[in-house]
Structure 1
Amino acid sequence: MTTVNIGISAEHRQAISEGLGKLLADTYTLYLTTHNFHWNVTGPMFNSLHTMFMAQYTELWNAVDPIAERIRSLGHVAPGSYAQFARLTSLPDAPETPPKAVDMIRILATGHEATARTARSLFALVDEASDEPTADLLTQRLSVHEQTAWMLRALLEE
């Protein structure tokens, strides 16, 4: 591979890429879980949840490419297999038996919060490396995950 000289040290590029790999794994795992729940939701909230989950999994699907491409821009290979994602993610896999709708909501809210924590954990390193494009990407992802978690938590209130 050609030498990468973008003003970020090789050590920082490596560490940031590894962190982004974890964010990519969390995002993809959350995408799969959300899509699974979209397919399998039942009950009185079916229509609203089916529609909401579709909007959420579409947003997550559109997020994986920019994360992976940022890893590539830093000169590293993006993880892209189920085995790699399973090893890197902080999220549990979706239950094999679809849970009740309220449990789906709880699982997704927790998943968005965990993914936000993964993104937030990179800021000190990204700041140290003066990696503004990654900081911008992380800020965008945090905004989405925190807002989505809030909206899901709101559905759980009595």
Structure 2
Amino acid sequence: MKANIGIKQENISKVVDVLTKILADEFVLYTKTKRAHWNVEGPDFYNKHLFFEQQYDAIDEIVDTVAERIRSLGHYAPASLKDFLALTHLSEELKEKNDSNGFIKELLLDHESIIFYLRENINSIAGELQDAGTSDFITGLVENHEKMAWMLRAHLN
């Protein structure tokens, strides 16, 4: 059943297009953070193992809230790896080393990429598409990613 929430269906579809890309980015970032948690090596293994776990737990919550936002707008959330890889702005390739600094640099770039994409869409979703709720929602996501990026950045020299 379509959501009757005071927003044109055409606008809802455009908002959902943005949200599905955000969901894909979040899921790929979750997976990459999980990979860092599982595969980090080095003298700081234990601390970084726990640090990456905290980060992927936070991203897991974001994934769920983005999917639920899509559902609240009356659409189905993509839920396959194939869909996520087709929609994401991120690369799942690891370009850095399998140590904490390598993973941190890679994940930091991904958080920053997501922040840029979210910022690009905040005003158009609120103004042009007249969905202040989703605009506010993704503003909150920006804040979450800024904090996680800060935590990653703080580990670098």
TM-score by length of 2: 0.92
Supply the distance in 2 between the matched residues of 1:96 and 1:117 (Cα, whole angstroms).
21
Paired residue for 2:144? 144
Structure 1 counterpart of 2:137, one-letter code: L
Structure 2 counterpart of 1:135, one-letter code: S
Supply the distance in 2 between the matched residues of 1:153 and 1:4 (Cα, whole angstroms).
40
Supply the distance in 1 between the matched residues of 2:133 and 2:31 (Cα, whole angstroms).
26
Q: Secondary structure at the match of 1:105?
A: helix
Correspondence list, 1:59-98, <5 A: 59-95=58-94
Unaligned stretches of 5+ in structure 1? none
Structure 1 counterpart of 2:102, one-letter code: D
Paired residue for 2:132? 132
Structure 1 counterpart of 2:69, one-letter code: R
CA RMSD between the two structures: 1.7
Q: How many correspondences in the alignment? A: 156
Unaligned stretches of 5+ in structure 2? none
Structure 2 counterpart of 1:64, one-letter code: V
Correspondence list, 1:1-158, <5 A: 2-95=1-94, 99-128=98-127, 129-157=129-157
Deviation at 1:96, TM superposition (A): 9.6
Deviation at 1:97, TM superposition (A): 9.5
Q: Secondary structure at the match of 1:121?
A: helix
TM-score by length of 1: 0.91
Aligned residues: percent identity?
Answer: 38
Whether contact under 8 Å (2:123, 2:135) holds in the other structure is no
